[in-house]
Structure 1
Amino acid sequence: MSAPVKLQEFFVDPARLASGRWCHTRDRQIGEGDISASYSADKIAEGRVRSPFKWQNALWVSVGGTSRGDYRAVQAYRIIERKFFDGTPITYNENARLSAAARGRPEGFYHGMSVKWGKLDCVLVGPASLFLPSEEKAAPEQSDIFDLL
């Protein structure tokens, strides 16, 4: 069995990782960061994802979070339009049948997975990265490249 791949780590404003809290009055989540709000592991089996977050001129979706001590970390994959994917996309069900082999790939379990974001056909691209809270609040990323999507 091969050694696990070390995830690339990115440090972001902790507010982007906040899980927020449920507001019964407004019937919605309040104070949830954009990275946490992109959590899509529960939707990927259905072939869909929630709205991605922006990081370093790319779009990403969260596939899971973990607590490390006093802070929260989020694992995420890039998401690209299918026409830009150089490979053969795979569905969640096809990938799940591969089980251990899929989980052991260096690119990660979700790499190459075909999903829809709204009406757009997309593919998740690995390897996954880990988003961690920075010690100082970072300025919000200023990028308008994806505002046209």
Structure 2
Amino acid sequence: MSAPVKSQEFFVDPARLASGRWCHTRDRQIGEGDISASYSADKIAEGRVRSPFKWQNALWVSVGGASIGNQRAVQAYRIIERKFFNGRAITYHENARMSAAALGRPEGFYHGMTVKWGKLDCVLVGPAAIFLPSEEKAAPEQADMFDLL
């Protein structure tokens, strides 16, 4: 078994990591950052993901968040169209059956996992990256829908 690949750390505008709050009047989340909004770990078992966020000319999907002290950190994997993936693509269920081997994979648990983003067949690509709040507020690198297609 290979050693895990160290996750890259990226520092982003804290607003992109904000979890927001539920507004009962509007019946939706208010103030949620694009990175947090991409959280898809609950959907991946169904073979799909929420809208990804853009970072460094790549699309990413959050698979989990954690608090480190009083800061919020998010773990994310790149997402690419399946036709551009050179490795062995697997489903969530195939991956889950491999359990220990999947958890010990150097690129991370979600690497190579097939998902749908809308109608696109995609694959998650590791290793995961960790997104942390920057000290300085950088200009958000959010994309409009036309940039993502």
Alignment TM class, shorter chain as reference: over 0.9
Corresponding residue number in structure 2 for 1:8: 8
Using the TM superposition, give the Cα deviation of residue 141 of structure 1 relative to its aligned residue in structure 2, in angstroms.
2.4
Matched, 1:79 2:82: no
Structure 2 alignment gaps of length 5 or more: none
CA offsets 1:32-90 (integer angstroms, 9 cap, x no match): 00000000000000000000000000000000000000110000000000000002210
Partner of 1:92: 92
The one-letter code matched in structure 2 to 1:50 is R
Q: 2:42 aligned with 1:42, yes or no?
A: yes
Q: Which runs of 4+ in 1 moved over 3 A?
A: 1-5
Contact 1:57-1:143 within 8 A present in 2 as well: no
Work out the CA distance in 2 between the residues paired with 1:44 and 1:148: 19
For the aligned residues, what is the CA RMSD?
Answer: 1.8
Mean alpha-carbon deviation: is it higher for 35-44 or for 133-142? 133-142
- Note the C-alpha offset of 1:147: 1.2
SS of the residue corresponding to residue 128 of structure 1 reads strand
CA 1:13/1:28 → structure 2, altered by over 3 Å: closer, same or farther? Answer: same
- One-letter code aligned to 2:99: S
Identical positions, percent: 90
- Aligned mates of 1:142, 1:32 — CA distance in 2: 13
Q: Where does 1:1-149 land on structure 2 (aligned, <5 Å)?
A: 3-141=3-141, 147=147, 149=149
SS in 2 for 1:139: coil
> TM-score w.r.t. structure 2 length?
0.94
Give yes or no for contact 1:64–1:76 (8 Å, CA) kept in 2.
Answer: yes
Q: CA deviation at 1:31?
A: 0.2
- For 1:39 and 1:142, the matched residues in 2 are separated by 15
Gap regions ≥5 residues in structure 1: none
Report deviation, 1:4.
Answer: 4.4
- 1:7 and 1:100 mapped to 2: Cα distance? 19
The count of residues paired between Structure 1 and Structure 2 equals: 149
| Residue aligned with 2:127, SS | strand
SS of residue in 2 equivalent to 1:111: coil
CA distance in structure 2 between the partners assigned to 1:111 and 1:43 by the alignment: 15
